[in-house]
Structure 1
């Protein structure tokens, strides 16, 4: 039974203060609960539960632990001086007032949780949009730089081609007149001139070897000869060089359209809705055949090695959710990366997704060779297979499949027999497997209504492993059915003490312990606590300890507020308590 610690209180017009000595208890074991009409401080074996006389502000509570003393300060809802701290009234009024205050506290926490959830979603959405905008801006900047560089190089190349293709201006040449035939003298000493140029005569005194024959200056020329000479001179002057331009160059422009997920044309009116849909379904877009076919992607979207390195960084910083997503992206690009499967299984293990962890480990083992080593990297593959087997064995142990867990740890230990940690874990799982088999026999006896045999089998299982919570809870049920309420209370109290333990990291730094206790925060652990509280409350009621029974049923109802059966049981226990007081 919890004890009530000593405390002192003080007040001002706006605040009330409490001072509670810890009496050697660790500050890590202290639990606080503040509602608008209830103050609760819990540290074993003490519980301080105060129903304050006037409303307070739960969100304004400030707690400090200095020199082994708890200092709590809470603001009053209405500034006034209180005559006393604790509300005075009948037990029924106090319990009703306390329940209403706790209900308001639960409702307020649910509202705050919804607000935090909405704020987290809005923040993630804004972060994603900002990241997408930043990546698009960077991609556009790189595309612009590439386009400018390409334009400069093309312009320089075209100028060079133009200079090579443009010929220099040809020299103007004048056609030479045909060579005149050599005139020979006839027998009578005369020359036969057969051409039409009557205006030119050759001197008979010049030698035939002279370079430039002289014209006769004194001979007259007729009008036809003059006209013919003028015509030839005009034709030479009017001759122009005609330049023919080179053929025009041809270019081929390739046009590509931006791929879209949606079959409809892009519209500004639907852009926001489409973006919201893409944010929600982003993980399914990797399989879209036309979306990423021709578009330029960042290295973070295409390189599985880069994605794995990024995931490793997240894992080393214990951001297991981000690491799991990055490993999934790498596996979407290349599904044969065994290391990514193994590391994603480790992320699942830390996040409590034990079945997903076992599935990834099975897929990784299917890709590893049966001999456990390869010629290229025998040691690396050997160690990887051992890690995968240990992770799958741990996942099976958390799921309650102790035989499969024992088999995986046995194979891992045979591959690495000198590992002391594996030896300890294998021995622990062997005890759990043996205890679980005895428990199954006890369950069969309980189903057959052989309560005494079931109780003895559960006791034998607890001898093997005293921390097997399911055996404690089931043995308590046997005690209750056999009308041994006191033993039922003891077993339920021991089971609740085990369920309230905080898992501490082992020597290897892993927070995952090999035990029969469900993980903290899991639905299974919550259900076990609820069931054990109900059994202990029933046993207290059988022992006519109605105050303790009422407390157990109230705690159980706080875990499952909508349970009508628990509400009826609590009302029945309160009625019995009131009847006993009369």
Structure 2
């Protein structure tokens, strides 16, 4: 049975009540404090302090400090004024004390439940707010990515239009140059004819012009003329009529290839790095690992050593497509298709890949008509490929939509 503490002290003002309870040598860590609007309890075994307050207090604003061997309560009165005594009259009635004690504990339990409910609601509100912020951030990120894509599409379109304009201007300039050369040639021909006519006039001056005039031997006279002879530059000393042209061209290609390989030789390179097939396989490893720039370097070096490797052009086109270098992708696919001749079943898969990559690059540049042509070319090679059929149908739908608009 606990020992009830009676030697406590208290003081008051109109608004505050101070209650000091001695701990009697018990450690502060062993003290259990409970408080409500009308009831205070301090348990520090084997001692127990109970106080049934004279009037109600603000439980939420009241505080209890433990230290220096005492517990000091600072409780705020709900109604200002002096209390005639600290404890209520119920301390003389055990049944009333039991009821008060039970009510206090019930109110405290209800209060804890209410606080837990408020905390749970606050937690849910915080989670909803955090979720909204995350969704907002994701939406902003999607918008940013869409803006970047739109900017890239616009940039690619502008570059394409600029390239088309440059090609048109270059064609017009070349046409003007050819026309200017033609005008100069015609002017030179006219000057030559005028000069020849002047010479003939000087030669026939004072004589009666007669086209049937004969010379002393009785033969008709010939007009003075000029014969021009031009020679075609050749690599070989023999005349072209005596040469075997296909063999000469093959020899020249081999000589050019040998000179190019000598120019690419580097004493710092290993034997494997001078092997184009090894470089192609190395580029494939880089591509699988996601190192696209290293893969492009490997394929490019292999093509410098052997420019007839269509697989290097096709694989480098795949790298350019992933890096959104669409013009370079189209260029490499075109070069690979030029090397994949004649079209036989053994190279059908390679030709299909080149057409699909080229068509995809055109579509990324919003050149859907050109892209559809490559997809249709791929379908001619592999008519049973359902994925290519579906993609071609989507492109046709885009073209029809643009036409309607």
Pick the TM interval, shorter chain: 0.3 to 0.5
Structure with the largest fraction of helix: 2
TM-score when scaled to structure 2? 0.42
TM-score when scaled to structure 1? 0.30
Structure with the largest fraction of strand: 2
Structure possessing the higher relative contact order (Cα contacts under 8 Å, 6 or more residues apart):
2
